[in-house]
Structure 1
């Protein structure tokens, strides 16, 4: 039988299918193949018929083989990766360059902003340092006042040291059975009245004023003659006579005044109210005396309280008069316990040398006599006294009785 080309091709394909068992007869197979080959090929229409699972699987396998076969080799893959990496680096470097290009401008803006902020901060700091003119002036004024106060204290210390370096101070007369007589004299300024207290053993009422005053030599005391001398002749102004009578009327002395003085007291109605405090007057020949504020025309009224008078005594001074209060000592409180008793507290007493007994004596007697002018008979001094418990006849830690009259010179000569 003649074999044609198609049959040979069929057999060749069948041989290629080695290992596949087919139960069909060879003729049947040939026939099926011939029929299949003779069939007219139909045009394909996309998505016209459902996909057969077997064919789809085969197509996927074929596509996979094609893709793998066409893929780059490992070497070419490395080159590709390198190129892509280089490209990425170039891209990133270009981006960085853009950022670098933009950074200087931003940095310049930030620098300008920071410099502006710094300038603002510096301006605010300068304004704070300079401060408002009123406040700075106020602080400067306070500092100047403090310096002036310190300078004033230093000057007072120096001046008081000079005054008390070689001073003859006569302490006040205590209250006792002695026959005390208070006599007015003029200070070297011819204005201030200085009260001198004497012990008159005889009866002053039997003597004339001139006889009593003649028994005292004012030159030895560094003073001027009394304004009450030669009262009958009216050689002195009545103003000074009245001032002298008013000064001695402050003090409680048991010895009666001469008869001429009693008449003057009745005529002029001498004021016996508070003395406006006490001060130290530096007279001639190194003599120092306690004088009243009224004798210095110190402003103040007799109805002032004790505390105000003591405060004023700390600062009232002039060419001849010094405060009895030391520069570093200040009044703290005045405790008026009852109508006869008072407690006076001072600070700064611990800075005062215990060797300055004269200054201590003037201070204590000035306080005691001021309190006595306000009617107090029991006076207690409080402060940092330390070892200064005894000054002259006064025990500072105890209640003290004010003296009767200042500037006691002792007994009069007969």
Structure 2
């Protein structure tokens, strides 16, 4: 209570400090504000506005990262810690950590948050009984998930949610999802569907590469279709839906601030291309980590001007390609000069990220057959190609190696995508 009182007092001082400029706004500015389209209200806003009634009488743990903010950019953990209406007792950090300081494939470990005094537990790559034990040890009754997704199957936060739902069943905890927009819209899904034998932390279950769902909708699908097989039962779950979000909306239309969901997802343009350019993680190219334009500035020391020319000739909607040269400061080809392309987004909603990804791989294979290679994590004569885990099967790799065209590669998953689309339709919450 003492900590909450101090935080509430500080919030009051901040409010006093901002009141005068607001009152000084001109009538023209005020009229303009009234004419702006009504912005989307995310799940945490609705939960807080209802004074956390859904969580009343329960000890709460929040699974979140820097994106768990209200529209005024206050973090929900700070707001909850200062409120007498909810009993928050723990925080759980995913890949990159609660405060977002860790690079890809890492997390922040356990620590006590200096701002709130709350214990922060590390969930990255933990699942099953191990994760259930963490939830039990933290003393929570209900788990709240609130992380901004970017709409790609291999973006790991949705699988942190899935693993946490499984662990919640095992530990006997409630699970509440606070919904947020899909920033690359929730239109028709696209891309190959994961085959079970290729399941990893970048894809636990059979969803397609660009799922076109919100995390709340995915949670409903996970709970109904997949949890009984992993946990033996469904989780006691609720989704706090958004107000005002439509499937056709791009993120700019929501009126919400963009907070980078991970260190290499700095802008919305990054999110538009990520479901395609991330496939380069399955090759011997730099994905632009260690540059100021990750997943947009991509290349390798053996790439020359021909790649940008070939990609431009494909006339991919919403995109332009600039011949580019760069030196990554870390990750693949650290401190080495790379040739490549800068993928420039000129119209986000028209971008087909899956076709972009296949086009990147196809042109590389045809232009640089002696240098381009698939990333092989196998040992000896046993191959384990990372591209297969990213795309969900061996189809993309083997089809490109066999000389298939871009359209032929894409045609290879149409039937499985159609089946997933029908399943997906049952769990959509928004028009």
For normalisation by structure 2, the TM-score amounts to 0.22
Greater relative contact order (Cα < 8 A, sep 6+)? 1
Find the structure with the greater CA-based Rg.
1
TM-score by length of 1: 0.22
